[in-house]
Chains A and B, each alone.
Chain A
Amino acid sequence: MTISTGRLRLTKRQRRSLIVGLLFISPAIVGFFVFNIGPIIQSLQYSFTRYNILQPPRYVGLNNYLFLLEDRVFKIGIQNTLYMVLIGLPIHLVFNMLMALLLNTKIRGLSIYRSIFYVPSITPVVASTIVWLWIFNGQFGILNEFLRFIGLSPIGWLTDPNWVKPSLIFMGAWFGGNTILIYLASLQDVPYDLLESAELDGANAIQKTFRITLPMISPVIFYTIIVNVIGYFQYFTEAWVMTATRDGSAGGVANSAMFYSMYLYQTAFQQFKMGYASAQAWILFMIVLIATVILFKTAGWVYYHAEN
């Protein structure tokens, strides 16, 4: 590591390797500026304008942001998205962890079960959501058929504003195979002698899990939390496909399934209010940034053991 402390004083060889290195990563440099930094700045600029694509953008100051404060649908979108991040995501991660712990009990036929739990997560979202639309169908769906069979009254899984988000979370669990496998892979890496010596000291299964297994894989848990928090803030396709109607609108009854990204999409690509949508995008950016910072600041529970 030669960090140039003084001015740029590089040897001839260093200069050569710098040029060659930069050449190799040049696609990344171009991509970084053209597809990331540039658009981020532009998006901030657009957020201060009114821009309907047909006429050139017109500067309106903070108006877009002020309108957002008053925008009822936007507020519902934030609430629904937070519901997904704060309720749906923890349920999914705990459920996925339980599944992984279950699969880690040295059961026979592991590779078969692993495949069964993973396959839903690689099917095209739209294709599998169409089945779930049919399963949730109020009149002919198998779920309500089952409820009637055991003597309960049917539920409007996707039409009752109180049920649509729980329904989406229920379906979302089915797509979680990827996380189950990430957890399973890390569980399999927990050194066996650690667990064995704890057992000799008289630790039971629950103590072993909470005192050894989970702390050992806490970096992986942290990684899945970060990635999924960012992902759940962008929750779109499942809800869109579930609630899209024939006229192209979506969001469910009384916007009960209107999520942040859906409203942003509608604002930008159906109403062509590019400035207003850019303001939404920037607020999302800030929310995700703050959430990430909070997660990193409160990461004291993550245990990094020396590798190898």
Chain B
Amino acid sequence: MGETPHRSADAGTGGTRVTQSHEWPAGASARVAEAPVSTRTPGGSGLGGGGALPRARKFGAERAFRGLSMAAGAAVLVIIAAIAIFLIAKAVPALRADTENFWTYEGWSPNETEPKFGIGTLAFGTVLSSALALLIAVPVALGIALYLSHYAPRRVGTALGFLIDLLAAVPSVVFGLWGRDVFINPVRDFSVWLNTYFGWLPIFGGDGPFGRSILLGALVLAIMVLPIITSLSREVFLQTPTANEEAALALGATRWEMIRTAVLPYGRPGIIAAVMLGLGRALGETIALAMTLGITFGISFNLIQNGGNTIAANIANAFGEANETGRGALIASGLVLFAITLIVNITARAIIYRRREFTESAA
């Protein structure tokens, strides 16, 4: 009872409030619609008699939160740029001090008064060991992925897939330790055998010692990237539309023909992306290779003699006794590695993005 006279009195005395509340929604709705904040909010149409919509404030919580999240997003770009900038900043003085050609010199002695170091042998070793590892790992990984997705009973496939995912999480230092202490023995025997019967091939030539070789490093690397490639390509194979598979089978295809005509073509971009990601991982692998390669400098295609080196392994091994220039030289080599992996990754991602558009339009 006490409220009503007040209202009516208010309306009677000119009703500033009432008129304001009528003008408000129109102005507010226009403002809200213009504001970028509410591009996706369904509100702001100005309909409904619910009364005033809140005004979009200039420095409200909405703006602050949006700005904060945007800054976090920008941080990613900043970090990538900062990696390049700081590596370059520290690499340039060392490169200036290098008395030999950085690209072609075979050797790494940046700590002396006349620093001499070259990336050529390291880059060669990196590419050789990664390529060899992928050559071994990819067919096996695709075989396992096909086994898990199309051959094994469903329960077995799921359980083993889980196991493979777990193996992908095993740290590289563990693989390095295993390769150095355990796996080296069969590999050494195998190398001796290869040298005895295939020694006439230059890649299996030489007269020892064998063991801590590119072959051991590449095999350990292959075992490490195997779970990654397997779990990625298994997921791709599982996504093959059942209709395609059943159509192939209904036309009388055998199981292999079904895989060749329905599963593999559908999964090809995914396989390529998985292989590229495995390559990225192999190129950047540090500790396992630092522990299994016999560190030498020199370009050689011999796979079984002690030797071999990669950019990342060299950083781990040479960091301990590096001085100012030595650190700069290592950072310069890291910059080269960064560039290589960046190219590989961008290519892989570009392939995946193309595929994503393809599947979305097909769906």
- Tell whether A and B belong to one assembly: no
Q: A residues bordering B, Cβ < 8 Å? A: none
